[in-house]
Structure 1
Amino acid sequence: MLRTILTFFLLAAPAAAHEPGIGPNGGMRVDAGPYRVELVPAGTAVNVYVTMDDESDIDTSKMTGTAVLLIGGKPVRISLAPATPGILSADTGVEVPTDVKGAVQLVGPDGKTVQAKF
């Protein structure tokens, strides 16, 4: 019995490590491949902050991304573009709730794709 309980907790622990948390910019933050990705809605805009796992900055000028967000019960697909260093942004054209659900797919400078789910 004790072995079963310990096994459950050991298997469940890695899954819990990827749950969204609050990032330094006030948005939801998750790990995605070698990156930490933070989704910060601001009115009709969406800002995606990208850092390395060790919190070091990354040059987002060579990155692209797509976000699919559930807004008003409907999926909204937006293309993210480099805004300022470390940030990809887009204007959705509609008000984005602060607790929006969805996913962000990023293509890094090396051409590899990662996905962050919020």
Structure 2
Amino acid sequence: MQTRRSLLTTTLVLALPAMALAHGPSRGPNGGQMQDIGSHHGELLAQDGRLTFFLFDGNDRPLTVNGATATAIVLGGGRQQTVTFAPRPDGAALVASGEFRAEPGLRVVVQLTPAAGQPRVQARFTPVDATR
């Protein structure tokens, strides 16, 4: 019995680092879905007709989006459309507008070039379906 308990404890302790590294969609500081996008983290908020994208470094510190360019392919309501992001005046986020509803099943693929000369990266979001 003691050996079985020790084996179970050892297995759980060894599994913890793997569980900490493997993460799915989560909520960011602005309430949107967080995903890895290249070496950065991105947070996407979806409202009817509007997407807001925040960019963070690998330690989840906010980054300015000045110099970044991005587009998104939005799939929702049986339609596909491509929208182009523009920086907010404060440089804290990118925003895009389109004809879609923020409802379960909305899927968004963000394609981001963080700065001139950097490679384009992308991430898939389900901003309305993410855990709350």
1:112 alignment counterpart: 119
The amino acid that maps onto 1:85 is G
Shift of 1:21: 1.4
Q: In structure 2, do the counterparts of structure 1 residues 46 and 66 end up closer, same or farther at CA, with 3 Å as the change threshold?
A: same
Stretches of structure 2 lacking an aligned partner (at least 5 in a row): 1-10, 126-132
Residue deviations 1:2-28 (CA, integer Å, cap 9, x gap): xxxx9xxx8xx69x8352211121111
1:92 alignment counterpart: 98
2:37 alignment counterpart: 32
The aligned length equals 107
C-alpha RMSD of the superposition: 2.3
8 Å CA contact 2:76–2:105 kept in 1: the answer is: no
Could you tell me the percent identity over the aligned residues? 28
8 Å CA contact 1:40–1:98 kept in 2: the answer is: no
TM-score computed with the length of structure 2 as normaliser? 0.70
Residue deviations 1:44-98 (CA, integer Å, cap 9, x gap): 1110111111122212010000101111022121001111323110111333336
1:60 alignment counterpart: 65
Q: Distance in 2 between matches of 1:89 and 1:99?
A: 21
Q: Distance in 2 between matches of 1:59 and 1:70?
A: 27
2:4 alignment counterpart: none
Q: Distance in 2 between matches of 1:104 and 1:66?
A: 6
The amino acid that maps onto 1:44 is G
Larger radius of gyration: 2
The structure with more strand, counted as a fraction of residues:
1
2:7 alignment counterpart: none
1:81 alignment counterpart: 86
TM-score computed with the length of structure 1 as normaliser? 0.77
Stretches of structure 1 lacking an aligned partner (at least 5 in a row): 1-5
Is 1:101 aligned to residue 104 of structure 2? no
